[in-house]
Amino acid sequence: MVLAAVGCGDNIDDPFAGLVRVSGVSPFAPSCKGNQGGINFAGMEVEPSVAVDPTNAAHLVGVWQQDRWSNGGANGIRTAVSDDGGATWALTTPRFGRCGGGDADNGGGYDRASDPWVTFAADGTPFQVGLVFDTSSGRSAIVASRSIDGGMTWTDPTVLRADTDPDAFNDKEAITGDPVDPGRVYAVWDRVTGQLRPMQPVGTGAAWFARTTDGAWEEARPIYDPGLDAQTLGNVIAVLPDGTLVDVFDLITQASTSAPGYTLAVIRSTDKGLSWSDPIKIGPMRLLGVRDPENSEAVRTGASLPEIAVDRASGALYIVWQHAQTDTSTGIALVRSVDGGRSWSPPTFVNGVAGAAAFTPMVAVAGDGTVGVTYYDLRDARPGDMAFRVTAWLATSHDGGATWSDEALTEPFDLRPASLGEAYFLGDYQGLVVSDGAFVPFFAAATRGSDNTNVFVRAVR
């Protein structure tokens, strides 16, 4: 149930009034990308993640893909640092990929970088993780870096897992710091095999895991393998107040068929990741696509990626994901657990208008238990319009997800500048944190002009 929906006006030419634009022009020279297949969109910033310093709520670090390619990945990762709760930002570049200064000696010498995610350790040290890969070989790796000066400079990448076999690919990583134990940071991702025979039931897709001890990374290892013709996707770890880890993911079965099964599931660890439970299956994920009704171009969304957040006071867990709300429209579903992830509530819907496609959610919980969920939707789309109108929203609940109210983060903006040729793309996820009692959405939006997309932030109290 939604109590209210509060929208902005309608200014398609300037829909971002009152927001802070975080991203800027590309820092990469056109020559850095070398000779690669595909189309590179310089100045296209997508897929942002953000984290807040547990020792200083005004200190934020955000990351995103810089200069996205039409066929996957970007020239590099860009990082932004704010010391005033998101009002102003300073930009820097880690050595993830050759355009960012990566080479064979420092662990970052790959064609492209993707899927950035950022967190803080309990002592205020920022860590980020990313996927790097080549387009002309089978190399892919999950790499991590930390900063000792609050995010303005970053260590050479630490390789958590690397593969050279084109039949295997590391993908969709996330990183989470333990809010209490400064020596523990956790990374998780999926490693998919059978890439050379995707339509045969020979592939696997185990969840892989790495953790730090006193800030140093241990050797990565698989923590859950669903078997042949199955995989995990979108692994994200949450840390409960008692230190229990809960990893949420999409469990895909019959992956090689034309009709795979998608199940929302979690695994738990009570010993800081040394051992893990069997999967707890929460329920099916009903996935529907989103398209521009005027030209049928697809919107690439976070359709298969669940997101998780924990209430640090009560220990309640919340998971959101993109889920079919009607037979023709997708919405934002939410489930809640009050027993550490062992059992879950039936799903409810967060988005304000059931008939308007809603997509790519992120969730966070404030110190007073207020739940916030950001997402995009098409409630402002107009048939026959010259623009494909999308609006970014923040939904909040003060009663554990029973009722919700919406606030528009932007006026409707035209998504069409975010086209990669076959699909519109803002990212498979977006960022959301709580800073000094305010929700701070950190998200991408399509912009007109030479910059196809940009990253914006707006604190909401």
Residue 130 lies in a domain: no
Residue 33 lies in a domain: no
Residue 189 lies in a domain: no
Residue 239 lies in a domain: no
Q: Which pLDDT value is given to residue 36?
A: 94
| Best CA proximity match to 206, nearest among 182, 176, 227 | 227
Overall average pLDDT of the 104-128 stretch: 96
pLDDT tens digit string along 24-61?
A: 899 999 999 999 999 999 999 999 999 999 999 999 99
Overall average pLDDT of the 283-310 stretch: 96
Residue 345 lies in a domain: yes
Question: Which residue range is the domain that position 403 belongs to?
Answer: 1-20+286-461
Overall average pLDDT of the 316-343 stretch: 97
Q: Which pLDDT value is given to residue 195?
A: 95
Tokens read off for 204: 């696997």
Under a CB-based contact definition with an 8 Å cutoff, are residues 353 and 379 in contact?
A: yes
Q: Which pLDDT value is given to residue 450?
A: 75
- At 260, phi and psi to the nearest 5? -65, 160
Strands (E), 29-167: 45-53, 56-68, 74-82, 90-92, 112-120, 126-133, 140-146, 158-163
pLDDT tens digit string along 165-174?
A: 999 999 999 9
Residue 340 lies in a domain: yes
The CA distances from residue 89 to 104, 141, 189, 355, in Å, are 31, 29, 29, 37
pLDDT tens digit string along 368-389?
A: 999 999 999 999 999 888 999 9
Overall average pLDDT of the 328-356 stretch: 97
Residue 461 lies in a domain: yes
Which 3 state secondary structure label does DSSP give 300?
Answer: strand
Q: Which pLDDT value is given to residue 1?
A: 36
Q: Which pLDDT value is given to residue 67?
A: 97
Under a CB-based contact definition with an 8 Å cutoff, are residues 447 and 434 in contact?
A: no
Overall average pLDDT of the 246-266 stretch: 97
Name the domain count of the chain: 1
pLDDT tens digit string along 422-434?
A: 999 999 999 999 9
The CA angle 80-124-47, to the nearest 5 degrees, is 35
Confidence of residue 2 (pLDDT cuts 50, 70, 90): very low
pLDDT tens digit string along 201-222?
A: 999 999 999 999 998 999 999 9
Rounded to the nearest 10°, the torsion over CA 30, 420, 145, 310 is 160
Residue 443 lies in a domain: yes
Amino acid at 413: F
Overall average pLDDT of the 301-316 stretch: 97
Tokens read off for 113: 């970088």
- The structure's pTM equals 0.96
In this structure, the chain runs to a length of 461
For residue 51, how many other CB atoms are within 10 A of its CB?
24
Q: Which pLDDT value is given to residue 303?
A: 94
Q: Which pLDDT value is given to residue 10?
A: 66
What are the beta bridge partners of residue 337? 317
Q: Are strands 423-425 and 298-300 parallel, antiparallel or unpaired?
A: parallel
Whether the per-residue pLDDT at 7 is higher than 60: the answer is no
Q: Could you give the CA distance from residue 410 to residue 364 in angstroms, rounded to a whole number? A: 19
Q: Could you give the CA distance from residue 385 to residue 170 in angstroms, rounded to a whole number? A: 40
Q: CA-based Rg of the chain, rounded to a whole angstrom?
A: 20
Q: Which pLDDT value is given to residue 9?
A: 52
